[in-house]
Amino acid sequence: MRFRTVLTKIGATFALIALGLSSPLVAEAEVGGVEQSYHGQLGFGSGSGMLEKWCALPNFSFEQQSEIDGWTSQSCNGCHIGAAWNPTKSSSNCLYCHNSDSPKHWDVPQVADCMTCHSKDETKRGDAFTAEQDVHIAAGFLCQECHERKADEFSDHQFRKGTSIDTTEPTMEGTLSCTKFCHDPKPHSAKKGIAVKLNRHTEKVACETCHTGLRPAAALARRQWNVFVSGKPVTTMRAAGWLPEHKWYDNTGPGASGNYDLPILGYTERRDAEGAKIYPFNSVSVDWYIKTPTSKFDEVIPVPAVKAADFNGDGIVTLEEMQVTYPEATLVTEEMNFNISHSVVPVALAFGCKDCHGRNGWVLDWQQLGYEGDARRLKATGKGNGKGGK
């Protein structure tokens, strides 16, 4: 541990030397390191980064709640480490991931290092990064073996991400998926008869839909920013073993619905989009107050003002109470969809034919997905490809 202090002190200088040496591209293009990556909250002040963004889960308004001061007073900077602006963490960024024992070299970040902050992902998506629950972790993968470190125009510390439907920037747009580097799009060969049938599915059914199975960890189900217990919004969880929601998604990120870049997605709204497939999601229902019926989703009534409107002190802020201070206050309820891409379960637990098709099929809601009924039965009875009802 005592090396940590040493590293902290030399961190900034070492960064320049190390990054300069490790990548000629850095010098040429003058791209930054972590401070310019999405981990460093690229875009502070420009509006193109995440720092100034609003997300329904923390419901913190950067603009209205004292910007950096408000942000750091809520300890958001403990994980959103940022750079120069961060009063506590700016010089020790490196140690979050490079938990080195020796100041002479940077050790390779381990899963546990990434998870000190990404534990939030487990709560959003029910992931469990354990050997029992995740075949890739069991095979010894580190996070960055899929989320490979790449340089882009901003930073040499970007880690490939795909186009998961969340509110983060598409900094490394479309660069990660099961089939990008590793798996064949028609990957099944183990049992011949079944393999052919499974491979036919991969055009309309995402790998994750069958292979992430029932979710191994508890996850958020609902958060109410109008009902408080001990000052915290009432939050409901799904118990481990929950079945995801299934929706059509075309991997182009959020923004098509609603009036703000939130992961709001209808079941069939992207069905006809190019490359759309059925994907698994955790749909988290969130309630929050906005200022007027026509306000954007991020024109929120800040949480302290909502709490202050609880005049009878029962923890429930009714619309009536809220409208005393904000006459046009409006309660919004929307579902935030967090896509599921981790904790690929052992093959024996992947969903098979009977889990989706037939009398006892229970994984998909065919009508919700825009089919007249079970796609296999429709095919068998000559009703075409099951596409209909739109």
Total number of residues shown for the chain: 390
Q: Distance between CA atoms of 163 and 57, rounded to whole angstroms?
A: 20
Tell me whether residue 4 or residue 357 sits nearer to ligand HEC (CB atom). 357
Considering the complex, state which of residue 320 and residue 389 has its C-beta at the smaller distance from ligand HEC: 389
Closest to 273 (Cα-Cα) out of 204, 211, 185: 204
d(CA 176, CA 260): 25
Measured CA distances, 43 to 47, 256, 265 (Å): 6, 23, 26
Query: For residues 181 and 311, which CB has a smaller minimum distance to ligand HEC in the complex?
Result: 181
Q: Which is nearer to ligand HEC, 107 or 320 (CB)?
A: 107
Q: Which is nearer to ligand HEC, 178 or 329 (CB)?
A: 178
Question: What tokens were used for 284?
Answer: 């988290």
Q: How many degrees, rounded to 5, is the angle at CA 11 between CA 6 and CA 12?
A: 140
Tokens of 195: 């393999």
Burial of residue 330 (CB within 10 Å: 0-12, 13-18, 19+) is middle
Q: Which is nearer to ligand HEC, 279 or 322 (CB)?
A: 279
Instruction: List, in order, residues 6 or more apart from 239 with CB less than 8 Å away.
Output: 218
**Residue 22 or 319 with smaller CB distance to ligand HEC:** 22
Kindly state the smallest distance separating residue 46's Cβ from ligand HEC, in Å: 13
- Shortest spacing between CB 246 and ligand HEC, in angstroms: 8
CA 380 to chain centroid: 38
Among the listed residues 32, 73, 82, 94, the one whose alpha carbon sits nearest the alpha carbon of residue 52 = 82
Note every long-range contact of 140-146, with CB atoms under 8 Å and residues 24 or more positions apart, other chains counting.
142/108, 142/109, 142/110, 142/111, 143/109, 143/111, 143/114, 143/118, 144/109, 144/114, 146/176
Question: Taking CB positions, which residue lies at the least distance from ligand HEC?
Answer: 162
**321 or 375: CB nearest ligand HEC:** 375
| Cβ 368 to ligand HEC shortest distance, Å | 11
Our CB check for ligand HEC shows the closer of 264 and 321 to be: 264
Cα–Cα distance, 385 to 301 (Å, whole number): 47
What is the nearest approach in angstroms of ligand HEC to the Cβ of residue 370?
9
Least CB distance from residue 330 to ligand HEC, whole Å?
Answer: 21
In whole angstroms, the minimum distance from the beta carbon of 270 to ligand HEC comes to 14
Is 62 in contact with 70 (CB distance < 8 Å)?
A: yes
Nearest-approach distance from CB 199 to ligand HEC, in angstroms = 8
Residue 95 CB, shortest distance to ligand HEC, in Å, is 8
CB of 310 to ligand HEC, least distance (A): 20
Structure tokens at 262: 């939130």
